[in-house]
Structure 1
Amino acid sequence: MYDLHLHSIYSDGIVSVKEILDSILDLQLKGFSLTDHDTFNGIKEANTLAKSHNLDFIPGIEFGITMAGREVHILGYYIDINNKNIIDIVERSKRNRIERTKKILNKLSQAGINISNEEIKEYSKKDIISRSHLAQILVDKGYSSSIVNSFEKYLGSEGLAYVEKISISYKEILQAIKSSGGVSILAHPGDIGDDNIVYELIHGGIDGLEIINSKHTLEQIEKYYNISNKYHLIETCGSDCHGKIINGSKYIGKFILNKKNIKRIKALHKIRTEGM
């Protein structure tokens, strides 16, 4: 069994790659994927550690974009970190994050909330700055009661300091993943809140849907399972673990994929790298 949706300190997770691997070993899973937001900087470390423990590692990434005013996340599995198209998307995504963060900080400053670059560096251990980092800073500085409250008051779409993501088109992302031999999956489609976007991505060539995710209700799981079957898509699941304790659990390993669908991912990857 595999957990295919995990985040580390290389993006907005709070655990190291080594800590993730230790959890995978404790749970006796066969394999996993590291899917940090807009970066593949943890891939080499994860691959080396996985090999040393005879674990099956699938290099991954999660890209965030905006479609029709909604945030959409696309997972890429078996990405080639040396592929020029993937590198280009990653670099553009990082630049867009920096620009967005500057605009958010400016809006917060206008509201009398000042966050310094030094403070951000304390919370973002690597080179990816996310709204989750800013949300935690707002909690620790006493402006919000929780991460959720930070998004409601300041950082979410209805928040005082909201800035829409500077987006790259989904077609570019799907093509970059495919050109690197990878497999594209729509992450937690139920979190989008607009199935028109889901269908646009399906017709636009996405390879599969993440059916089971810690954010999904049973009703959403059933709905997207039926949609996936209808369009003959690959079905995946993952914990989306960032290392935080939620309801007494880190979630890692609680939403795991069986061999059948892992084989489908591997088969499509093989076709795209070796041909039929």
Structure 2
Amino acid sequence: MRIDLHSHSTQSDGTETPAEVMRSAAKAGLDVVALTDHDTTRGWGQAARAVAETGVTLVPGIEISCAYDGISIHLLGYFIDPLDAPLLRELERARASRRSRAERMVERLAPDTGLTWQQVQDQFGADTTIGRPHIADALVAAGVVASRDEAFTAYLASGSKYHVSHYAPHPSVATRLVRGAGGVPVMAHPFAAARGRTVGPDVIEGMADAGLAGLEIYHRDHTDEAIGQGLQLAERLGLLVTGSSDYHGTGKRNQLGENLTSPEVLEQLVEQATSGSGPIRP
């Protein structure tokens, strides 16, 4: 069984609709795929309606943007109750901050690139969680850069003069919120040093104390050394080990199924959920 537990659609920074992600998963030979858009569950319905058509089981999920001491951390939450009030309040606060942050970044970019907020708005829908990739796509569309990668390197990296931070909860707080919503929290790409600074084992230990279920160890942004250290840490803390693609359509090089999670681990994730929801099967 081929299981990929991390993908994104146009509801956040992916380039395919939720239904298209499901079709791409089928073409990639996946049996199970998780839709984990940033700070939103709005794509679940469309993805669920594509289950019968594609024959691919859907794991409903989310990726919550967190921060610790200025370091960006992403937390995957599977099988949450999408109507859980405390979690919804936190997500809406983060989404609003993301939008205002994007607007301020465009204001900083405008004198040097000519970029307008309208050009950025043209890159996303009404309910989309807005992020830097949408600014990158606008820069590509305007001919300022040739690709998302170039946009991040030249303009959008965390150390850039154009960068603006946004509100994000402490990772242990987010972990408790996912558990409170009946979901199962797994830390996404925890050792992806190429993206920027990463947190130490002490922060992950704190997340484990708060209810963290697993670590996404097998990810293209992890070195072999990081994978080895991650496996040791997961064993020491009693955490599950997952593998995922972090698929974004054409927005990133990541390909569905390039890293996988075992059926046994998925079964344990399902068993830990208390929301009453689970995989949506054909």
Kept in 2, the 8 Å contact 1:31–1:56? The answer is yes
Letter aligned with residue 220 of structure 1: A
Q: Hey, what's the Cα distance between the residues in 2 that align with 1:240 and 1:41?
A: 18
Q: Which residue of 1 is the match for residue 117 of structure 2?
A: 117
Cα drift, residue 263 of structure 1? 1.1
Letter aligned with residue 158 of structure 2: S
Cα drift, residue 51 of structure 1? 4.3
Measured against aligned partners, the alpha-carbon deviations of 1:89-144 in whole angstroms (never above 9, x if no partner) come to 221111111121122122223x4333323211221134222101112222343433
Change in CA separation of 1:245 and 1:143 when aligned onto 2, cut-off 3 Å: closer
* 1:217 maps to which of 212, 220, 223: 223
Kept in 1, the 8 Å contact 2:18–2:44? The answer is no
Measured against aligned partners, the alpha-carbon deviations of 1:136-168 in whole angstroms (never above 9, x if no partner) come to 222343433542332233221211211122222
User: Is 1:241 matched up with 2:242?
Assistant: no
* 2:204 maps to which of 192, 198, 204: 198
SS at match of 2:63: strand
SS at match of 1:244: helix
Q: Hey, what's the Cα distance between the residues in 2 that align with 1:160 and 1:141?
A: 20
Kept in 2, the 8 Å contact 1:66–1:165? The answer is no
Cα drift, residue 67 of structure 1? 1.1
- Of the structure 1 ranges 134-143 and 115-124, higher mean CA displacement relative to structure 2 is found in 134-143
Letter aligned with residue 235 of structure 1: V
Q: TM-score, normalised by structure 2?
A: 0.87
Q: Hey, what's the Cα distance between the residues in 1 that align with 2:89 and 2:252?
A: 35
Change in CA separation of 1:53 and 1:19 when aligned onto 2, cut-off 3 Å: closer
SS at match of 2:113: coil
* 1:264 maps to which of 249, 264, 268: 268
Change in CA separation of 1:198 and 1:153 when aligned onto 2, cut-off 3 Å: farther
Letter aligned with residue 270 of structure 2: K
Q: Hey, what's the Cα distance between the residues in 2 that align with 1:259 and 1:210?
A: 15
Change in CA separation of 1:149 and 1:26 when aligned onto 2, cut-off 3 Å: closer
Q: Hey, what's the Cα distance between the residues in 2 that align with 1:219 and 1:244?
A: 28
Kept in 2, the 8 Å contact 1:151–1:159? The answer is no
Q: Which residue of 2 is the match for residue 89 of structure 1?
A: 90
Q: Which residue of 2 is the match for residue 253 of structure 1?
A: 257
Alignment of 1:45-60 (within 5 A): 45-60=46-61
**What is the Cα-based RMSD across aligned positions, in Å?**
2.2
Cα drift, residue 53 of structure 1? 4.7
Q: Hey, what's the Cα distance between the residues in 2 that align with 1:153 and 1:125?
A: 26
Question: Where do 5+ consecutive residues of structure 1 fail to align?
Answer: none
Measured against aligned partners, the alpha-carbon deviations of 1:200-254 in whole angstroms (never above 9, x if no partner) come to 433443221101112222222221111101111011111001012766xx51122
Q: Hey, what's the Cα distance between the residues in 2 that align with 1:46 and 1:144?
A: 32
SS at match of 2:250: coil
Q: Which residue of 2 is the match for residue 77 of structure 1?
A: 78
Alignment of 1:1-276 (within 5 A): 1-109=2-110, 111-126=111-126, 127-191=128-192, 192-196=197-201, 197-244=203-250, 251-270=255-274, 273=276
Q: Hey, what's the Cα distance between the residues in 2 that align with 1:37 and 1:246?
A: 15
Letter aligned with residue 116 of structure 2: S
Cα drift, residue 35 of structure 1? 0.2
- Of the structure 1 ranges 126-135 and 65-74, higher mean CA displacement relative to structure 2 is found in 126-135
Q: Hey, what's the Cα distance between the residues in 2 that align with 1:30 and 1:147?
A: 30
Kept in 1, the 8 Å contact 2:124–2:134? The answer is yes
Measured against aligned partners, the alpha-carbon deviations of 1:157-192 in whole angstroms (never above 9, x if no partner) come to 211211122222323322221112100011000125
Q: Hey, what's the Cα distance between the residues in 2 that align with 1:136 and 1:82?
A: 31
